[in-house]
Structures are given as C-alpha cells and as structure tokens.
Structure 1
C-alpha cells in the first residue's frame, strides 16, 4: 500500500502519522505544505473539491494531515488508513 500524506513538518498530527506509517513500513509520498508551493497548490485543490473537507471548510480549519490512498480516496482519519 502506498499513501500520499499531505501535511506539514510543523504539524504534530502530521509528524505522528508519519511515525505510524514508518513503524508499519507503509510506503508514503509526503507532500509538505510548509516547504513546497506546488504541494500547497495540490492540497488546496483537494481541500476545495473533496466532500470529506466540507466540515473542515465550515469550521475554517486547515484539515491536515490528509491521506490520499492508491485508489484516489481521501480521508482525514489515520485509523481509517491503518485499519
């Protein structure tokens, strides 16, 4: 399984998720919003278009980390990815 993780190295939740994936030997593609404007643009497109972000947008929250699975599905729940 390969997971794209969209987050920030400044975010404790992102760092925790990365640690969990590393411990389980999950292949990841990390998109760091704090270090890359192209990654930020990808994130903003996901945030504005994915239904999973409706509540996040309503609250004005950031909504990271975000996990994009190989099948293209998007979730904000680490446990959903780890099973």
Structure 2
C-alpha cells in the first residue's frame, strides 16, 4: 500500500501521521507544501474544490495532512489507513 501525504513538516499532525505510517511500514509519498510550490499548488487545488474541505474553509483551518490512498480516496483520518 502507498499513501500520498500532503502536509508540512511545520505541522505536528503531519509529522505524527508520517511517523504512524512509517511504523506501519506503509510506503509514503510526501508532498511538503512548505518546501515545494508544485506541492502547494496541488494542495490548494484540493482545498478549494473538494467538498471535504467545506468545514475547514468555513472555520479558517488549513486542512493538513491530507491523506490520499492508492484508489484515490482522500481523508484526514489516519485511522482509516490500515
């Protein structure tokens, strides 16, 4: 299994998610929005168009880490990754 994580090393939730996935021996592609403008642009396209971000936008949140499974499923919930 491979999971794409979009987030930032500046975000504790992102760092925690990366550690959990590493401990579960899950392959990770990490897109760091703090270090790469291409990753930031990709993240912003999700944040501005995905329905799952409605509450995040409403509450002024950032919405990271975003976890994308191989089948394209997107979630904020690390517990959904087995």
The interval holding the TM-score normalised by the smaller chain is: over 0.9
Unaligned runs of 5+ in 1: none
Q: What RMSD over aligned residues (CA atoms) do the two structures have, in Å?
A: 0.8
- SS of 1:17's equivalent in the other structure is helix
Task: Tell me, yes or no, if the aligned pair for 1:52 and 1:76 is still in contact at 8 Å.
Answer: no
* Residue equivalent to 1:17: 17
* Residue equivalent to 1:45: 45
Tell me how far apart the structure 1 counterparts of residues 76 and 15 of structure 2 sit (CA, whole Å). Answer: 14
The CA deviation at 1:73 is 1.4
* Residue equivalent to 1:76: 76
* Residue equivalent to 1:27: 27
Q: How many residues matched?
A: 82
TM (normalized to structure 1)? 0.94
Q: Where in structure 2 are the equivalents of 1:49-60 lying within 5 Å?
A: 49-60=49-60
- SS of 1:10's equivalent in the other structure is coil
TM (normalized to structure 2)? 0.95
- SS of 1:71's equivalent in the other structure is coil
Unaligned runs of 5+ in 2: none
